[in-house]
Chain A
């Protein structure tokens, strides 16, 4: 490579890498992420839940004891999670009993109360009232308990012996263990987690392509609007300038990708032992981390597809930069390109649920979407390579070669065109210029 291209690469890279924004973005972002997560755990410890007290008006008189038996969990501190007390609606009537409980809830004596109506077996409704109703996990747990009891009662009404119902119900719960079939055997992997990972990583790729593509565009516009271009192209060919620019800015993106990805691999590999050594035993963290299926292979493909996607889109961004005169015009012209990229994102969401359909195969071979859609297929299929993965690399590279050839022609003419912004058709005519 000529020394002149190296000079351009160095300038594009260093003049941006030295800015505060880049340094903060690259190194502070992972740190901030760690701080946020530690913060969640620290606050979790600070705001430890205490025993919640509920009053229960059981108009059937049959559910209370069974329900409190089931909901007998304890907190980490050893305290019971809930304390229940039964309230009778008898002497003063239901209304008065409820009002009394309401008062107690308002004065924070109790957290809330529940009313089990007499016809609960038929109506299948229990009323729950509390100072706040945001703890959906608790409500689901209560729901399950009541359902279990009511099912039992219904079966008992059918004439089955209570003991048999109990043992049948207890052994009736089934959980789905998902595993992925691979060459090396089966790998435990959950559908939700791999979908979420593909979603997040693809989002990162798209974001990086757009951010750095726009930087490439702005870099061209700066040279054009500040009238720097002619000085530069009197020493270096426009094509070399464009290539140097794309490589230099790509270097910035790669730096960030390596820092982020390396950081993530580090966490997955070492967070558990580090926590253990620090004497922090947080099983939630370990479970969470074990569901992230971010392997070095996925990381490698992430880098590869960022690279391909960036070169593909940044050359289009560079062409837009060469056509327009100001950043405002550039913003307008990049609109359709943005829509195109986001469309790829929505396609990706559909495809990562069904990565092996013919539609998924074909759309992931469409060069503009390969870096997005094929990458997401690779993430959800890892460690198996999805069909067409290798082929897609060749089609994308071939597209890049043709695209760069065309863009270079538009770029060469455009960067020295001042004045009125040409129409798309005029810009296409530049392809024919000698």
Chain B
């Protein structure tokens, strides 16, 4: 069953088109990256998933449920713009957030205890939010989104404002939650962190899809695939049909594979005649892919205008 189905949604504010014909679906237990530069339409898309904004066209169904009123209690959402009631005590605030997710008092108490312990903020439970450091506030905010053990967790720029130690803590917690079967949508403009965490990617730019699919497929599809090889002996493998171009320096070569070229075939051919000291497949980063794809589009647009 798909945890989330987003079906051709669009949203326009006045003359400004914020999201145009976006579709994707997410399987259970997947870490899904919604990536794109600032202002691309990520937050509007998430708000439509959360039913905070109603799409002009298209539908969203969460956990197979078209009625968002019931589905919403099974989602956890950490918005990018986030803050808390500064005068409230930590425990009261978490209890309030739990009540908003229809948790019973007893379940809430157990979950609050567990999570405060997990992020080592137990001693702070009776302090007011304004007495906490910024990092502590971020952690409280984070556990507020997972208290009710949601099926789907949506995190909009979760690492913004966190120090490396706490970033690691949150990342570890996310991996645990994923192992327990939680589906996680991870929205960010920092492509490096998306690349590390996500199995599937939806990249959005200027309110439209740029590409969407499994991370590995995207890299195959869009990446120029380069191999760096250091060898002693026969260089006949450099004539392999898998190879598009090559730069041979005698005992080191840089190879660019054809689109369907198989790096492993090249390696086997090389091993049959030479000693291999180093074999490195240089994968393109998401960032490179994005720049290439968006750059091409931009060039095309410029060409059309001319």
Binding site for B on A (CB under 8 A): 3-4, 6-8, 11, 15, 222-223, 226-228, 230-236, 238, 416, 418, 429, 434
From B53, B72, B73, B100, name the one whose CB has the most chain A CB atoms within 10 angstroms: B100
Chain B residues in 8 Å Cβ range of A226: 83-86
CB atoms of A234 and B82 under 8 A apart: no
CB atoms of B83 and A228 under 8 A apart: yes
Chain B residues in 8 Å Cβ range of A6: 99
- Verify if B21 is at the interface (C-beta below 8 Å from A): no
CB atoms of B79 and A231 under 8 A apart: yes
CB atoms of A227 and B96 under 8 A apart: no
CB atoms of A228 and B100 under 8 A apart: no
CB atoms of B75 and A234 under 8 A apart: yes
Seed contacts A8-B100, A235-B73; 12 additional CB < 8 Å A-B pairs? A6-B99, A7-B100, A11-B88, A226-B84, A227-B79, A227-B83, A230-B81, A231-B77, A234-B52, A234-B75, A416-B53, A418-B81
| Alpha-carbon separation in the docked complex, A238 to B101 (Å) | 15
| Alpha-carbon separation in the docked complex, A86 to B85 (Å) | 78
Chain B residues in 8 Å Cβ range of A238: 52
| Alpha-carbon separation in the docked complex, A235 to B98 (Å) | 10
Query: Within residues 176 to 210 of chain B, which ones have a CB less than 8 A from any CB in chain A?
Result: none
A-B contact pairs, 30 of them (CB 8 A): A4-B99, A4-B100, A7-B96, A7-B99, A7-B100, A8-B100, A15-B87, A15-B88, A223-B85, A226-B83, A226-B84, A226-B85, A227-B79, A227-B82, A228-B83, A230-B47, A230-B79, A231-B84, A231-B97, A233-B52, A234-B72, A234-B77, A234-B79, A235-B73, A235-B97, A238-B52, A416-B47, A416-B52, A416-B53, A418-B81
Chain A residues in 8 Å Cβ range of B83: 226-228, 231
Given A3-B99, A4-B100, A235-B97: A230 and B52 interface contact (C-beta under 8 Å):
yes
CB atoms of A4 and B75 under 8 A apart: no
Chain A residues in 8 Å Cβ range of B96: 7, 11
Q: How many residues of B contact A (CB 8 A)?
A: 30
CB atoms of A227 and B100 under 8 A apart: no
Query: Within residues 97 to 123 of chain B, which ones have a CB less than 8 A from any CB in chain A?
Result: 97, 99-102
Chain B residues in 8 Å Cβ range of A232: 100
CB atoms of B54 and A434 under 8 A apart: yes
| Nearest Cβ on chain A to B159's Cβ, whole angstroms | 17
| Alpha-carbon separation in the docked complex, A230 to B141 (Å) | 12
Which listed residue, A230, A235, A416, A418, touches B100 by the CB 8 Å rule?
A235
Nearest CB to that of B89 among chain A residues? A15
Binding site for A on B (CB under 8 A): 14, 47, 50, 52-54, 56, 72-73, 75, 77-79, 81-88, 92, 96-97, 99-102, 141, 144
Chain A residues in 8 Å Cβ range of B73: 235
The secondary-structure label for the interface of chain B is loop
Given A3-B102, A7-B100, A226-B86: A234 and B81 interface contact (C-beta under 8 Å):
no
CB atoms of B85 and A222 under 8 A apart: yes
Nearest CB to that of B100 among chain A residues? A235
Nearest CB to that of B87 among chain A residues? A15
| Alpha-carbon separation in the docked complex, A434 to B99 (Å) | 28
CB atoms of B85 and A15 under 8 A apart: yes
Nearest CB to that of B81 among chain A residues? A227
Chain B residues in 8 Å Cβ range of A15: 85, 87-88, 92
Chain A residues in 8 Å Cβ range of B50: 234
Chain A residues in 8 Å Cβ range of B47: 230, 416
Nearest CB to that of B56 among chain A residues? A434
| Alpha-carbon separation in the docked complex, A223 to B101 (Å) | 18
Nearest CB to that of B53 among chain A residues? A416
| Nearest Cβ on chain A to B6's Cβ, whole angstroms | 17
From A228, A230, A233, A418, name the one whose CB has the most chain B CB atoms within 10 angstroms: A230
CB atoms of A235 and B72 under 8 A apart: yes
Which listed residue, B54, B56, B92, B144, touches A231 by the CB 8 Å rule?
B144
From B83, B87, B92, B102, name the one whose CB has the most chain A CB atoms within 10 angstroms: B83
